[in-house]
Every structure is written in structure tokens, then in C-alpha cells.
Structure 1
Amino acid sequence: MKFEIGDKVVVRITNEEGEVVDIINDKMVMVDVRGVKFPAYVDQLDFPYFKRFTEKKLFPEKPKPKTYIDQVPKEKIRELPRREPNGVWITFIPRFETDEFGDDVVTLLKVHLHNQNDQGYQFTYHLNYFGNPEFELKNQVLAFQDFYIHDIAFEDLNDSPSYWFEFSLLSPDKKKADYFEASLKLKPKQLFAKIQEIREKGEPTFSYQLFKQYPDKVEEEKVELGKLAAAGFKMYEASKAKQHLPPARTVIDLHIEKLTDNWKNMSNGEILQLQVDEFEKYYELALAHYQPMLTVIHGVGSGRLRDEIHDILRHRKQVKYFVNQYHPSYGYGATEIYFQY
């Protein structure tokens, strides 16, 4: 390796001086130039000693005659080219190392938040594995700046990581939303394919856009209760709303023949959607009635309905945990859900 962390370097293309802040692999390093961090190939960098030596004069020049203030011409103000906003991105930088067989393998991913907009944001970041919190960070990212978040070990990518953000403006604007949520969930197969793709293209990073523009505030429509009552709608006090809800169940059976008689004329996609809608209905009722648990019978089959339900449960904060229940009374295919309030 030609460079080490802390080395002062010169970017050959722009002739700008910077500092090596991280080693990505044998061919690439992370460089910081005036607060902007970016990956660069080592053959694009050089040590600054030769540049400084050639710029230094061997013999001092004769002093120039004094110039008085009224002799200095007014400087023309030059407008720098304006960068077009391009949204906020989450960027992954794979770090490669050579194993004992001489192959380059990924050991970890460096996660960065890249703000390509002309306004700064406060943000809260959560990393979850299988829906369970693993890492949290609160900070801010300025306009047109890059923010390093943390590293993720490569072996942890099999644990269904999900990346969740909540953004708010550094400079509040009455016309803009108070906060904005954005998230990214990648399956391990997608991540591995993306890493292979950038290796083949010789690219150092891959990114996903979290949002293009920060959203405007949505004005809530005011509802006149008197008009609703006059139109025949039933009105209840909020404190008594629970007693007007449909009854909840502790066990729901999602076998399609239990839900409709017309299932033979439905496609597989329509059947799955009806089953998921029924699950969502009784899930919400269980929460509204503060049930400690709910058992969902989904059967064995191909496992598509079970996987769909489990994927939903991993992202619900009211779920304390859930387990598969292979009991004969449930047809060897059910999930027990335990809630936390």
C-alpha cells in the first residue's frame, strides 16, 4: 500500500491537496479535501512534496514596489457554477481484503449519508436486524456534504438489515413538513448482486436515493362534525370509541375457504391479498383491545403467506416477538404474536 491514514496527498487531476482518512482496499483510499470526502484510486494521488518543492523559489525575489489602496483595481466578482440539487442518498462503500487464496473478499460495508441538496437536515438513523433495533444515531448533514454513519460487518448482511431515517430541516420552514421518514430494506441476494456488479464495472460505491426533494407541509382538511351528523354518520366520544369497535379475536384462521366461498375463481395474488387484509384487520383490532397475544393460522403450504405476515411483523413496533407454532390443532402452521404496549 502506497499511502497510510493521515498522509497528505495531491489529487493529480485537480492539483488539490487533501488527506487520506481511510483505506478502502489495496487500490483505493478515502480522501478528505476541504471537508469533502470521496473515494479515489491510489494511482490518481501523489505526495505533495514534489509540488511544494517546485513551487518554492530557490532565490528570493526582489521586493515589489508598494501599491496604495487607490491604485488597486476593483475585483470583478465571479459567480461560481451552481450545483443542481439531486436529493439525499445512502451510499455503501465495500471494503475488500485479500484472503489466504489470493481472492478479494468483502469484509465490511461503510455506510454514508450523502446530501446533494442545497439545504441541511437534522436526521435520526436506525439500523434494524430482523426488525430488531441494532444501532441508532442522531446528527445533522449540511448542504452538499457527505456524512459517515458507521460500518456493517459483511456477515451481518444475512440478517435482513433495514435502514430507517427521519429527517427535519435545519432551518425550519412553515411551508415544509415538520419531519419526513425514509427507509431502505435490501434482501441479501440484492446486496450481493450489487457488490458483484460494481466489482465488474470497477466502481467503488453503490447508492440508493432516499428522497429527491424535502416535502411540503400537507394541510389537514377540517371536518365539520355537524355536517357529518346531519348526513347520517354516527358520532361517538373518543373516550368511548373502544366499545363501538368490532369484537377482537385471539385466534384467526386465514385459510381461504374460511374467508370466502368464491375462492376457486380467484387468482393466487387475489387470494394472498384477501388473506393479508384479513390479518391486518384483526391485528389492528387486537391492538385496539390491548390483547396480550394473537394467534394467526396460515397453514403450511408454500410458506408465501407465512413469509408475508412475518415480514410485516418485523416492522411493527408493537410486536414484542413472534414464534412459529407447529401444533396439530393449528394444522402444523400458525404464528403466535406477543404484543408490548
Structure 2
Amino acid sequence: MKFKLGDFVRFVDEKREGYVTRIIDAQTLGVTDEDGFEIPVAVSNLTSVHGHGVVAEEIDVPKPIQVNVPGVTKIENGIYVAVATDDKVGNVVHFHLQNQSPNTLLVSLSTEKKGKYASAYHGIIASYGTSLVYSAALADLDLWPEFTFQVLVVSTADAKPIDPLVIRKKFRAKDFSTEQKALPNLKNKGWLIRLDDLVPVTIDAQKLKESFFKSADEKKMVEAPAKEIDLHIEKLRDDHHFLEASEILQIQLTHFQNALDAAIVHHFDKMIFIHGSGNGTLRDKIHKLISKNPHIKTYMDARKEKFGYGATEVVFK
């Protein structure tokens, strides 16, 4: 019999059961019991227990969760991993991939550890659907592999196709440093981690302009941004203390791009982006994006007496 990570199994020769949390080799599995101990067991000494595990609640119509996301995104709401605890085996967590969008997702999950790759999951996740994709022992967090999610977004709407997403994630202690909370569509508590938050978002400003000529029912409303946009990470994310430098930069650039495109849609004459001085990385990235934008006439340091060299003023055509 072939087992996979997350399977609930029972020992053949003794009264004990648990979850498969490690594949040691072709003949041996690591099984974590209800006391949280991982035991190496021969495959021949295990049998599957069907109909057991962490499952989604039975609900008539799945509803999207309320999350803090930009007003205009490639994927409405987003793609998340809900890491749920297990009632019976406290040391085990279950990874549920959650599609909080109106699109259908074709997903594959592979893992990599020390140059060795393995396929962990592949399947179709319907809009606002959930699928169990992985299980592991939380105590072995430092031993977890790196995860690569490949996502193809399928939409029935009259819209430009979304580019396939490749999301690489190495889970760290900071991902589980917050208090466990109720998870959407799941019975168990745990942590909700957004996967596509670091995927760069671009908006076709011309398409959005054209939308204003549609009927009220068809029109996609874009909220006008503020005249001054503060890109300091503490203004954008409450959990900024747990973010790495690369994550912070990508979040700031995404927020910048969303605000810039919205300003173009609303025919702004000019606006100011407050990026701070720091080491100049964010400023340089923003200036590079501005210089390539056909809707921008010029840009300059904004009011040095107020911002020093920590802000850029953009003048639109």
C-alpha cells in the first residue's frame, strides 16, 4: 500500500495510530502519534484509516474571507495557505491551499530539500475552494523543505488572461509567531498565510480608462488614491517586524504601482510618493519604473524643505 504525507494510519501489531509526517525511505515512514512523538514504522506494519482527518466544514455556499488586499489586484482576494492544527495530534499541522478568488486554479506543489525534489500535490481548486496539500510536524519546522507552488488561473470572465504564477515559500518561525485564529471553511484553528502577496501586480491603465465608458453595471470602480502616498512599511503592514527585506521591498513596490495606476485613471496632475532616504534602494526602483511609464511627463525630488531627499513628486501628462 502506498502512503503519502498527512495520511492517518493505524499500526497493525499494536493499538496505536497517527499521521504520516515523514517518508524515511521506500520501506519506512515516520508516524507522529497523539502524544506528539514521531516513530519510525515499517510500511508493512501500517494500514490506512479512511474517512479521518482535518476536513472542511460542510457548508452550502463557500464565502470569501475578508482580507486586507489592494483595491485592484490580478487575483481578487488572493491565494492562501491555511495551516491548521490537529485536535488529536498537537504536533501535526495540515496545509490547506485556499482559493479566495472567483477563478479556478490549476495547482501543483513540489518540495525541494538539499537538491532533492518531490511532488507533493497537484489538482484543481474551484473558486473559494479548499484542498489539503501537505502535512508535517511543527516541531520539525527547521527541517521542512522549500515549497514551490505553480498556479494557472482559469477565468470565465471577459478579461485578459493572467500569467501563470510560480510562488516559492520557505516557511519560517515568524509565519507562526502570531496567535492561532479561526480559519475560513475549516473547523480547526491555525494560521492564514497569503501566498500571492509578493507577486508583482500590474494594471492596464488604458483598460481601466475604457471601463468608465461602460454602463454602471459593467463599470469597474477604482478608488482615487491620496495625493501623497507614504510607502514606509509600517504604514502598509502591521506585521512588518516579521518581514524580510526582500518582502518589504516588493510590498512597497506593489503599493506604489497600484497608487500610480489609479492616479492615471483619475487624471491626476501630480502626486507625491514618500519613500524615505535609507539606502536608496526603494527610491531607485521607483525612479526606474517612473522613467518607463508613458503617462508621466517628469519627476523630481518633492519639497526638500519638508521631505529632504525622501520623497518623489510625479507630474503626469
TM over 0.5: no
The structure with more radius of gyration: 1
TM-score under structure 2 length normalisation: 0.35
TM-score under structure 1 length normalisation: 0.33
Higher helix proportion, which one? 1
Which one scores higher on RCO, CA 8 angstroms, separation ≥ 6? Answer: 2
